Amino acid sequence: MSSSSSPASVQMDEVRQKARSVLSSSGSAQDVKADIQTMAAIALHVSEKYRHLPAETMLRENTENRPRPEVLESLGKLVKALSILEKYGCNLTSPTRPRYWRSVKHNNPVFRTTVDAIKGGRRVLFLYGYTNQQIDGLSFPEEVTEPNIETVAAVTLEVMTLRSEVDMLLKGTHPHPEPFSDIIPLIIQQNVPPKGSVVNGPADKEQEEKPQVPPPLAKPSPMPRTPPKPAAASPAVGECSLCGTTSCLVCSSCNNQHFCVACDDLFHRHPSRADHRRDTVQKTSAETCGICGTTAVHSQCPSCVKRLCLNCDRLFHSHPDRKGHSRTIVGPASRAPSLSQTSWDCSHCTTVNEMRAVLCTTCERPRLATAAVPDSSIPTSQNSEWQCKSCTVLNQGSSILCEVCERPRLATRPPVTPVLSSLQSEPNSAAKWTCQFCTFVNTQPSPTCEMCRLSCKDSAGVSLPQSLLQVSSSATAEPPPLGGRPKPKPRVGMDLKRQQMMKDDGLKLIQQIREAEKRGVSPEEVYAALCMCGGSNPCDWLTSELPHLLDEICAMAASVQLNYRAGNAGAEPAVERDVGNGGMKPSRAEAKLAWLAAGGDTDRAVRQLLRDRRVKMKELHSLGFLDVTRCEEALRQSGGQVKGALSLLQRPLVEPFHQHIWMDQPEPPIDPKHADKLRTCRRLLALYDLPSWGRCELVLSLLQEPDVTCSLEDVVHAVKQSHDRDFIRRLLINECPCCLSIFPHSKMQSLTSCQCSVCHECFGQHFTIAVRDKHIRDMVCPVCGEPDINDPEQLDSYFSTLDIQLRACLDSEVYDLFHKKLTEHALMKDPKFLWCCHCDSGFINDGNQLKVTCPSCRKSFCAQCKKPWEPQHQDVSCEEFQRWKRDNDPEYQRQGLAGYLRDNGINCPQCNFQYALTKGGCMHFSCSQCRYQFCSGCNNPYHKTACKTPRCTYNGLHAHHPRDCLFYLRDWDAPRLQQLLQRSGVDFNTDPSNGTQTDACGVMEQKDEAGQQVDSPCGVATQPGQAGLCDKHYREYLVSLVNDHTLDPAVLYDTGELVRACERYLGESARGDGEDDSVYGARLLKVVYTRHVRSQTLRLTPRFPPQKILEVPLGEKVPRNK
């Protein structure tokens, strides 16, 4: 029967198939732990057991032609690397793969110190599927979306099996080490020692030839220590002399003391006892526990198919899932030995550890910790950072080991490894202390470590465990006799030398990196240059030699590609010929990146350059650029950057578009009737930012209607506001009430005070004329005349919004004039503001004197009566000065009643501006300064619309005049007015004051000539007996006397006038039954009196008591000069 069909091969295939199925579905190493142990114990040749993994090659490469200490160290690194590779495989087969499973980074410290530290580690990653070489690591190809679970599971099982076998070979517990005798003979031969002897020390080969030296005499110990038991009271066989557990070694140099494995390793680690020879204690073989492997079997569990000792049975079946298992007692319950006699398997990562180890050497989980069962109900975040408890560095949430100290995520702070100093060291050795962070041995007493600069108070003595401080007197041996072999040098000196060398090299490298950074050189370039320049300055080498090296790499890459193309021209596939690198001439930038990725290796840099160029060419080919020559040239010009090459390749394609954009010719207008409707809609979307394609089609349909005369911009603006066709038509057709033209709504403008809308041109022209030629109160709506300027509440809010609208439609000069008039209008509200009677300027008068001087014309006038200033007015009131002027001024006497009417002219009740004009003519007076409209006879305001007076329903231009106003009395003839004055005994003039009769009336009045308000003499012919005045101004003179003496004209009313007065002032005008004219007139006259007196009483009761009600003036605002 061949070996392939042997029972061992059949068993191996069955177990392998079962374990691969389990691992492919679960991805957990704990689920296949038993199968791994079974496969590792099967006696098969290495090449037959490992079908995917090159196990024999990896073992030979890592152990061949090396001494035994290096072989042991290399195999230990191999175990750790296989553990990390095992985790990579389990992550790929796990149903919940990590986020970044597609790549493995070389700069990862765990990868660098484990997988990259052995030979053949990356080949395992290739077997997993990491076949794409990158600058910073390996990754799956881009076309691979999922890993091959079956292949990965098969490779992972062989990695786990090899790790288990190598670990058992190191521990000497492998059941069948014969297949490895030809691969690692040093370990296999050493693990089969002569009968009854074993050597455990740093120099094994020397100890075999060294004759046994009798134990030296003891001398006093410098430190208080507890010596071991004396030889006379030697412990019984099977008990350790230190911990009391079952012993497995006996040392003849230490008075035949017995030790267990853990105590022997600690006790004989001391340099003075490192050369002691120990013999193994013969023990009878018995069936041991299936978990600890050291204690005799006590019970058997048919549910778990395990045979366990007493302690392991209690611990294993304490889990809630295994409490109900029934066990059968198969042996006596003996006392379990110490857990530090042989090896134990980690339940989390399945690593075989020594019994003296409390934490797992790979994952550093506690010895008794159970396997981690992922809780699918609680989502774990891989992005949350975690802080290492050993070095306090913040690591990424996806990392398992710390990036600096490489300790596991759940590991606690490690204890300080003690460094024993030789008893024959220098006297100042007590000053040495070990740093608890970096384990550096400091030789000088200092509060900080010389290496890591951290505060470390843990000295060497304090760091030692108590068991090692208790050394027997026999340990302090005297020097060996003459002829004896000299003892090895203490290891402390070697460690110090190694640490000092590492410190010097590190400081030198840091200094070189800092100098390079000042010159703009990266640390990667410095590292690669150090591999090439030897001991010279790397920066100088990069400046002088790197360009030549990069040219050489480029030439080598081009040569390799040309040779490959010449040798495979006929067999190369079409795609490879199209995307290949025929005639490639890479740039220095590409060669430099490849050289840095290769770590300074020229051959690897050439291969990397070829791979990178092929990947870039494939990417450009996939984007549609099939011209190899143009792609090669674009990559060379862009320094190997795909984006830059793509920009260069796309530039000729977009050149016509660029020429179209930057051409000097104007953009042709959009023709709504163009045959290509799609092209027109695309242009509308690009130029006018319409919200949708449907709006573009709506614009085209509206422009094609026969009755639409609006421009494209107007239609687009209307379509942006709504998609309703009827609403859009209403927006496009609006008639201006001023010019009666049709405009779209976007070209119409309205005021905030009304709903009227006018076109932009009419709006600007109206307010330009109003600002230049009219008063600021004329700046109202050109259509409806709103708002009411006489209302002060509306005035302020109206001008505040009007200013914003006029800023955009008026010229700068007109807008500045508007602001000037607006400022003057605001100043007029100040009681100290005065208008000059000589010019049209105004100013603020802060003084309290009658004489004021205008700052514009420098002329003086009276601040109270607004008359030009004369010296006779000094220290005299205005009334006394006016009386003196009538009596003594010849010019005033010559003017007669015309001068009287001029002096008693019109005063604006709003701004107090005085006009030397008569009140005759139109009683509707408009102030030229403040544009206040009022009656010149009673000073009551004129309203253009409905006023706020109760029971007033008139909506046109009107004012409410009292019955003694000139507005009503000017209709009386002169004899009737003279009769009213004679009844009250008031004198009046009938002849001119100078005795001469003039032909024309000389009273000044305001006239409208060619649309302008001008002041000129009346010029109407005078009549005899009217004091040299015309009939109109003579009646005005008589009415002024009536007003000055507060005469009531109602006493001369006839019945018709009394009826109209009652209706006007809401009196009772109905005639009673049987009333004649005299009784009806007397009653109406009483009503007029009563109504007038009652209305005056309501307003003036606080000042006028009821018994003086007849003294109340008829008109409250009627000018009266007594």
| Residues annotated as catalytic (active site), given as ranges | 922
Do 272 and 477 form a contact (C-beta atoms < 8 A)? yes
* Counts for the chain of helices (H) and strands (E), in that order: 38, 29
Handedness of CA 504, 505, 508, 509 (dihedral sign): negative
- The conformational region for residue 1037 under phi > 0 = left, psi -120 to 50 = alpha, else beta, is alpha
The DSSP-derived string for 585-642 is ---HHHHHHHHHHTTT-HHHHHHHHHHHHHHHHHHHHHTT---HHHHHHHHHHTTT-H
In angstroms, how far apart are the furthest CA atoms of the chain?
A: 175
Do 753 and 784 form a contact (C-beta atoms < 8 A)? no
- Tokens 């033209």 correspond to what residue? 741
Geometric angle at alpha carbon 361, from 357 and 367, rounded to 5°: 50
- Tokens 């732990």 correspond to what residue? 33
Dist. CA 631–CA 647, nearest whole Å: 11
What type of residue sits at position 38? Answer: T
**All residues at 6 or more sequence positions from 363 whose CB lies less than 8 Å from its CB, including other chains:** 83, 346, 348, 349, 351, 408
Q: Of 82, 102, 70, whose CA–CA distance to 40 is shortest?
A: 82
The number of residues in the chain equals: 1122
**All residues at 6 or more sequence positions from 807 whose CB lies less than 8 Å from its CB, including other chains:** 815
Dist. CA 731–CA 722, nearest whole Å: 10
Can you give the three-state secondary structure of 996-1007, one letter per residue?
A: CCCCECCCEEEE
Q: Of 416, 415, 414, whose CA–CA distance to 433 is shortest?
A: 416
Tokens of 1100: 């003036």
Give the number of other CB atoms < 10 A from CB of residue 643: 8
- 3-class secondary structure, 1084: helix
Do 139 and 158 form a contact (C-beta atoms < 8 A)? no
DSSP assignment, residue 936? T
**Residue 831: exposure state from Cβ atoms within 10 A (0-12, 13-18, ≥19):** exposed
DSSP assignment, residue 201? S
Handedness of CA 448, 453, 458, 459 (dihedral sign): negative
Identify each DSSP E strand in 854-977 by its residue range. 860-862, 906-907, 914-915, 924-926, 933-935
**HSE of 911, CA atoms in CB hemisphere, 13 A:** 24
